[in-house]
C-alpha cells in the first residue's frame, strides 16, 4: 500500500486537478493507496472541495488543522497518519509532477529506502528565488554535518521504516529534508523538472523563506555559534594593528578608533542575534507543546486521538 501526503493551504484553484492527476498516477501502480490531504488552516473553499471529493473517493483521507501550522508541520502530520509501506510527500500545486512518483516507486522496489526528487530545472520561478535557493543549499551543506542533497525539496518517497523513525522526532522547528537525511538508510534520487505552479499563488513569501532557511541551518548545525570565536580573534588582531598604527603616529587617530568601535559593536550584535536564534528555539522545545492540533479527521478508520 502507498500513502501520498499532500499539504494544502488555500489551494482551491488547483486541488481538483491535483487530485485527478494523482489518482491517474496511483491507479497505474495497480496497488492500494491512500491520499492524505492535510488542510493547513485554509480559509478558502479548499476544505469544502476536499470533503466533496472524499464522498466519492474512499482513498481520500483528510486531516484538518485547527489553524495554519506551516508546510513542514503539515507534512509531519501526514506522515504520522500514513499507513502505507511507502509514503510519498508531494506539494498540492503540481510543481512536483505526480507522474514522477512512478519512477520513485520503481527505485523503492529496487531496494532504496528514500527516493528524493532532484530538481534539474525549475520553471516559472524568479531568478532571485533560483539564485538564493542554489546558494542556500550549498551553504547549508557546508554548515551541517548531515549529508544533505543539493537541490532537493520535500518531494520524496520514504519507506515505512524511515517514517517510523521520523515519527519519533518531535522537534518543533522542523526541517523535514534534514530530518529525513539525519535518519539515514539508503538514499537515491530521481531527477525531475520542477514545473510552474498550476494555479494560485505561492504561500512562501520572503519572510517565511528566510525563517525556513534559518530553521534548516539552526536545526542541524551549531557552527554559526562558533563564528564569534573566529571573528573575535580577527578583531583582536585588527585592533592590535590599529594600536600600533596609532603609536607610530598614524593620523587621523579618531577615524581608526571609530571604525573599529563601530565595526566590532556591529559584530557583537550580530553574534547576539545568532545566539538568540538558538535560545529562542531551545525555549520553544522546552514548552513541549503538541506539534499540531487537529480540528477534524475524515476517512480514517479508527478515530484515535491526536
Ligand atoms: N503549504 C502549507 N502550509 C503553509 C504553506 C504552504 O500546507 O503554511 C502547502 C501549499 O499549499 C503547497 C505546498 O505547501 O501545497 C508548498 O507551498 P508553495 O507552493 O506555496 O511553496 P513553494 O512552491 O514556493 O516552495
Ligand atoms: Mg509551490
> 263 and 179 in one domain?
no
> 268 and 151 in one domain?
no
Q: How far is the CA of 21 from the centre of ligand 1 (A)?
A: 18
Give the pLDDT score at 131.
Answer: 86
Kindly state whether residue 183 falls inside one of the protein's structural domains. yes
For residue 190, what is the domain's CATH number?
3.90.550.10
Give the pLDDT score at 235.
Answer: 76
Q: Is the peptide bond before 252 cis (omega within 30 degrees of 0)?
A: yes
Atom of ligand 1 nearest to the CA of 69: 8
> 146 and 12 in one domain?
yes
Over residues 109-134, the pLDDT tens digits come to 999 999 999 988 877 778 888 888 88
Over residues 249-306, the pLDDT tens digits come to 777 777 777 777 777 777 787 788 788 888 888 888 888 889 999 999 999 987 554 4
Over residues 14-32, the pLDDT tens digits come to 999 999 999 999 999 999 9
Q: How far is the CA of 202 from the centre of ligand 2 (A)?
A: 6
Task: Round the average pLDDT of the chain to a whole number and report it.
Answer: 87
Pocket of ligand 1 (CB under 6 A): 7-9, 11, 40, 68, 70-71, 74, 91-93, 95, 202-204
Does the structure show a pLDDT above 90 at 46? yes
Q: Which helix (H) or strand (E) holds 296?
A: strand 294-298
- Integer Cα distance of 254 and 252 in angstroms: 6
Give the residue numbers spanning the domain of 269: 220-287
> 114 and 81 in one domain?
yes
Mean pLDDT of 217-226: 77
> 297 and 254 in one domain?
no
C-alpha Rg value of the chain to the nearest Å: 23
Question: In this structure, are residues 19 and 35 in contact, taking their beta carbons and an 8 Å threshold?
Answer: yes
For ligand 1, atom 25, name the residue with the nearest CA.
204
Give the pLDDT score at 305.
Answer: 47
Does the structure show a pLDDT above 90 at 83? yes
Listed range (9-13, 147-151, 166-170, 208-212) with the worst mean pLDDT? 147-151
Percent of all residues in the chain with a pLDDT value above 90, rounded to a whole number: 50
Closest CA to 117 of 154, 158, 87, 82: 154
Q: How many domains is the chain built from?
A: 2
> 198 and 51 in one domain?
yes
Q: How confident is the model at residue 153 (pLDDT cuts 50, 70, 90)?
A: confident
Bridge partners, residue 37, by sequence: 6, 62
Amino acid at each position: 500500500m502507498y500513502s501520498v501526503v499532500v499539504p494544502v493551504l488555500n489551494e482551491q484553484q488547483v486541488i481538483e486537478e491535483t487530485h485527478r492527476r494523482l489518482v491517474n498516477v496511483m491507479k497505474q501502480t495497480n496497488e492500494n493507496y491512500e491520499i492524505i490531504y492535510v488542510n493547513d488552516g485554509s480559509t478558502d473553499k479548499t476544505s469544502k472541495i476536499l470533503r466533496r471529493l472524499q464522498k466519492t473517493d474512499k482513498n481520500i483521507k483528510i486531516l484538518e488543522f485547527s489553524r495554519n501550522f506551516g508546510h513542514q508541520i503539515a507534512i509531519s502530520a501526514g506522515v504520522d497518519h500514513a499507513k502505507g509501506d511507502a509514503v510519498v510527500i508531494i506539494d498540492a500545486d503540481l510543481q512536483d509532477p505526480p507522474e514522477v512518483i512512478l519512477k520513485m516507486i520503481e527505485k523503492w522496489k529496487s531496494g532504496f529506502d528514500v527516493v528524493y526528487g532532484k530538481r534539474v530545472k525549475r520553471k516559472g520561478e524568479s531568478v532571485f528565488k533560483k539564485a538564493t535557493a542554489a546558494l542556500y543549499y550549498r551553504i547549508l551543506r557546508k554548515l551541517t554535518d548531515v549529508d544533505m542533497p543539493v537541490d532537493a525539496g520535500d518531494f520524496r518517497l520514504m519507506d515505512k521504516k524511515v517514517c517510523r523513525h521520523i515519527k519519533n522526532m518531535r522537534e518543533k522547528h522542523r526541517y523535514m529534508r534534514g530530518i529525513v537525511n539525519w535518519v539515514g538508510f539508503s538514499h537515491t534520487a530521481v531527477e525531475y523538472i520542477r514545473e510552474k505552479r498550476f494555479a494560485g499563488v505561492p504561500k512562501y513569501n520572503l519572510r517565511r523563506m528566510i525563517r525556513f532557511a534559518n530553521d534548516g541551518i539552526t536545526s542541524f548545525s551549531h557552527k554559526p555559534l562558533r563564528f564569534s570565536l573566529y571573528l573575535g580573534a580577527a578583531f583582536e588582531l585588527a585592533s592590535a594593528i590599529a594600536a600600533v598604527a596609532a603609536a607610530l603616529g598614524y593620523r587621523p587617530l579618531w577615524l581608526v578608533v571609530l571604525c573599529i568601535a563601530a565595526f566590532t559593536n556591529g559584530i557583537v550584535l550580530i553574534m547576539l542575534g545568532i545566539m538568540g536564534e538558538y535560545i529562542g528555539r531551545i525555549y520553544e522545545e522546552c514548552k513541549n507543546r503538541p506539534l499540531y492540533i487537529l480540528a477534524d479527521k475524515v476517512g480514517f478508520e479508527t478515530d484515535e486521538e491526536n
